[in-house]
Amino acid sequence: MTDLPRTPSFRLDSKRALVTGASSGIGLACAAALAQAGADVTLVARGADRLEAARAAITEAGGRAEAQPLDISDTAALQGFIAGHGPFDVLVNAAGLARHGPALQTTVADFDAVTSVNIRAAYFAAQAVAQGLVAAEKPGSIIQISSQMGHVGGIDRAVYCATKHAVEGMTKAMALEWGPHGIRVNTVCPTFILTPLTQATFDNPDRRAWIERNIALGRVGGVGDVMGAVLYLASEASALVTGTALRVDGGGTAA
């Protein structure tokens, strides 16, 4: 009888995961996906009330989660927390900030606010998690929630595109450096995803029609579309995947 190969497990039992931006939208969905796969999940976000509500929802659904209110743009606080509570087997950095507008009108304040979250916090969160894994001699998976805008340009999105292109670059470099330690580093690049924060965009019929025309599958994304991608990259199912971008964009960047 032929021995058939077995599909690697998507389960995360006994794994510890850290999710930033976890109080709503994509971050909350990612945290839920990891918890549903058996991980112990630590939720990080600024708003304590919404964060606690997210933690309660996950635990009531049978998952294991704890909450830590934290502003990830405070690099010292972020790294101190990770160092004191790690090592984490999985990081999903879903926190992000956008202040869209014409490049001719970009202010220094807006530039600094967006880059401090989308680049600096993303960089040092990954570094701190990797430091903990290396010290513990453990493998791990670091996942940055990037964007299709990390691969293309967009009107009124010069700063946002710059930050996401930076995330793509640092992910490749980190993957090369940390691969010998068994640490994988990847990005997930969603298209426009319907969340409470993006609802106003989708409420504009012209804007929604433009978005749908530019997605090959002809529909906007939901948080569930991102959940499967994150679970894949967090699990052993993607054991040979590192330094790459998983585009959950409905074909939006294929052209």
CA 26 to CA 157: how far, in whole Å?
20
Which pLDDT band, with edges at 50, 70 and 90, does 212 fall under?
A: confident
pLDDT at 197 over 80: no
Within 10 angstroms of residue 90's Cβ, the number of other Cβ atoms is 26
Q: Give the confidence band of 16 by pLDDT, cuts at 50, 70, 90.
A: very high
pLDDT of residue 29: 97
pLDDT in tens, 134-153: 999 999 999 999 999 999 99
pLDDT in tens, 179-194: 999 999 999 999 988 8
Statement: residue 129 has pLDDT above 80: yes
Instruction: Report the pLDDT value the prediction gives residue 1, as an integer from 0 to 100.
Output: 84
The CA distance from 147 to 121, in Å, is: 16
Q: What CATH number does domain 16-248 carry, 3.30.9.30, 3.40.50.10420, 1.10.760.10, 3.40.50.720?
A: 3.40.50.720
Residue 236 pLDDT: 97
Q: What per-residue confidence (pLDDT) applies to 202?
A: 83
Q: 121 near 72, Cβ under 8 Å?
A: yes
Spatial CA neighbour of 144 closest among 56, 26, 61, 49: 26
Contact status, residue 34 vs residue 16, Cβ threshold 8 Å = no
- How many Å apart are CA 183 and CA 185, to the nearest integer? 7
Mean pLDDT for 119-129 is 98
Q: Please give the positions annotated as active site.
A: 160
Provide the CB-side half-sphere exposure for 190 (13 A, CA): 25
